[in-house]
Chain A
Amino acid sequence: MTRTKSIIGKAVVSFTGLCAFSAVAAVVWIMGTIVWGGHSHLTWAFLTQAPAAGMTEGGILPAIVGTFMLVVIMSLVGVPVGTITAIYLSEYTSRGSKLANFIRFAVNTLAGIPAIVFGLFGLGFFVQFTGGTLDRLFSPEGKLVWAQPNILWASLTMALLTLPVVIVSVEEAIKTVPRELREASLALGVTKWQTIWRVVLPNSVGGILTGAILAVSRGAGEVAPILFTGAAYFLPNLPHGFTDQFMELGYHLYIMTTQSTDVEKTLPIQYATTLVLLLLTFALNFGAIFMRYRLRSRRVAA
């Protein structure tokens, strides 16, 4: 009886272990394949040149710059809004607050809305509605300036998509600030906002940074929201202003794999582009995970 039991037990443990291991193996497999396929083409020239010969040769510089600009504009909007929301949820509301619960529900819902729907929203709200209104007001003789897909609308769409990421991770960080610090500050006669500004926020910088990193990582990897809010197939110039379109790594990869004139010939470029994208998100995620573990250990210590 006990023998059978221990055999079943071993089988259960091994099977669940196999499941866990297969998930890890998938990570290793994907990364290994892409590093193997892309490392030889990943040269300095590849990173610093524009695509050439109908996108069958050359590098990916415009896509890298475009991605960079996208995540910078996105963070400038998304991180402050997300941080303020997190502050509201954790500092200004009590546990049973209805409004806070609604906002929390909204944040969770936002996190679950498909990226492509954000793309549609960006097209409908930013490009058509906001851009259209701006053009009606400021653009002479019906020339289209804002009512077109551009880097600003794409970044704003991406900021909305990554908002829940920022909110959740900042809130988690704010929770790790010990209650005693706040109470000590309040007991000294400092107001609530001063306490938040001088005590809570400086102690949550790590969490805000983690949130920003995670958001950037997510934003750099998503393609669906920018498909029709600003990403371009090929541009000879880098974007110079908010109303320009831009090239982006993920979109570039999508285009190269599905719509390239010669898929076989450009395969090394595809691999190398994937590798760049993967290294970028990997580095960002690794940084965020590292910071989060440090935060958690601090909470345990506190």
Chain B
Amino acid sequence: MRILPVPAQPDQGTPPTVNPQSTPPVPPPSLPVRKVLTMKKPFRAGEYAIEKFIQSVAIISLVLIGLIFVFVFREAYPLFTGKVLAAAPQAQVEEAETYGVDPGAPDIVEAPELEQNQENFKPSSLVGPSWQPVSLDPKFGLWSLLAGSLKVTLIALLIAGPVGIFAALYTSNFAPKWAREGMKPAIEILAGFPSVVVGFFALVIMASLLQNIFGFQYRLNAFVGGVAMALAVVPIVYTVSEDALNAVPKVMMEASLALGATRWETALFVILPSATPGIFAAMILGFGRAFGETMIVLMATGNAALLTASLTDPVRTLSATIGAEMAEVVFGDTHYRVLFFVGALLFMISFSLNAVAEFFVRNRLMKKFKGA
């Protein structure tokens, strides 16, 4: 604590560290001290209120995560208590004809002889191969949808991963200045393409082109969806990888060059390995994006819930199922709740992927370079 004499006019022009209101400790007897300067922040009600207001607005993002989980899961919850039809009468009231007309993709309905009572929905019936929500004997097996999502995601990552990572390596290490300045905004533009535009492009142009090249039996299939999805995933993989590559300390590159390694050897064997955690994070985030993306798969994959091993069959993904079917369900019935359950599943997957990318990978990357 510093104690200083202050001139008679208080307040105006005094630094914020001054506290005119605070009770002065016993001043040294010899000096006529009127005010005491402390390093303690003065209390101001207005400032306090503003800070609390700003803080509470900032907490919205935090609360939102919880709310999203609660409200998506809330609609799916009755599936697990078996009270699915209890909500149905109310559903008729809420079923306003306002959800657009959506015939959806035709489901392959075989109506096998299997008894299932809608009133006692068993959560275990979610584990099954066939997804036939609108038939006399509805089935809500999620395997085919999950397989569809995984197929499209896998294809997208197999294409977008290498392209994004190598493109990042190129612009961060090899590219001449003009190429770098041109490519970065171009890839940002690619990131800015609405997914519905990419979906349209895949549906109208790419599907026919790929069918002509590879001779697919079905024009729209998992492969077309995956390639289109790669267009949406490349910018993410590129951006995060590039950040990781640029975060590698310059001294490492210089040391490598000083030892006589060439530029490309340095890039491939020094910089790329050092950035591995960041690149891993890039792939995880790309996976999350591809797994949850809706419009591209809705438009380009054919939307048939088939459980096959082929990558060139039509598929229906988890996200596309919600997008296509939510418009036609009756509020509160089993189908409606299962779709919300699928949404909760997507939420949990993206949440955990992000947590992994965040805590595990980025922290490790940071520690590694701080240690270096």
Chain A residues in the interface with B (C-beta under 8 A) = 5-6, 8-9, 12-13, 15-17, 19-24, 26-27, 30, 33-34, 81, 84-85, 87-89, 92, 99, 102-103, 105-110, 112-121, 123-125, 128-129, 142, 144, 147-149, 160, 163-164, 167, 186-193, 217-218, 220-224, 227-228, 231-233, 245, 250-251, 253-255, 257-259, 267, 270, 274, 277-278, 281-282, 284-286, 289
Contacts and interface: CB of A to CB of B under 8 A. Distances in A.
Given A109-B354, A274-B197, A217 B62 contact: no
Nearest to B46: A193
B99 A228 contact: yes
Contact of B189 (A6, A27, A250): A27
Nearest to A115: B294
Contacts of A13: 170, 174, 264
Most buried by B among A164, A232, A250: A250
Contacts of B74: 124
B150 interface: no
B166 A16 contact: yes
Contacts of A147: 94
B351 A109 contact: yes
A121 B192 contact: no
B200 A257 contact: yes
A13 B72 CA distance: 48
A217 B191 CA distance: 11
Given A119-B322, A250-B197, A251-B100, 20 more contacts: A9-B264, A15-B166, A19-B167, A20-B183, A92-B55, A106-B61, A110-B61, A112-B353, A164-B61, A188-B13, A189-B15, A193-B46, A193-B51, A224-B195, A228-B99, A245-B98, A253-B200, A254-B299, A259-B103, A277-B196
20 contacts: A12-B264, A81-B57, A84-B58, A88-B57, A108-B358, A113-B292, A117-B292, A119-B326, A121-B72, A142-B93, A148-B96, A148-B98, A188-B15, A189-B12, A191-B46, A191-B47, A250-B197, A251-B196, A253-B197, A259-B102
Most buried by A among B61, B102, B347: B61
Interface in B1-53: 11-16, 18, 44, 46-47, 50-51
A193 B193 CA distance: 38
Given A13-B170, A20-B171, A106-B65, A233 B343 contact: no
Contacts of A22: 163, 167
Contacts of A87: 54
B234 interface: yes
B189 A282 contact: yes
Given A9-B264, A186-B16, A228-B99, A116 B343 contact: yes
Contacts of B15: 186-189
A189 B174 contact: no
B215 interface: no
Contact of B194 (A23, A149, A220): A220
B187 A23 contact: yes
A214 B133 CA distance: 38
4 smallest CB-CB distances across A and B, nearest first, come from A114-B292, A221-B194, A88-B58, A16-B170
Interface string B153-189: 0000000001110110111011100010011011111
Contact of A20 (B96, B166, B192): B166
Contact of A224 (B72, B75, B295): B295
Contacts of B358: 105, 108-109
Contacts, number: 306
Interface in B336-360: 339-340, 343, 346-347, 350-351, 353-355, 358
B193 A278 contact: yes
A117 B72 contact: yes
Given A109-B355, A189-B15, A116 B193 contact: no
B200 A270 contact: yes
A121 B103 contact: no
B205 A33 contact: yes
Most buried by A among B51, B100, B231, B326: B100
Contact of A120 (B65, B186, B200, B343): B343
B13 A189 contact: yes
B86 interface: no
Contacts of A188: 13, 15
A94 B206 CA distance: 50
Most buried by B among A34, A106, A277: A106
Contacts of B294: 114-116, 223-224
Contacts of A113: 68, 292, 347, 350-351
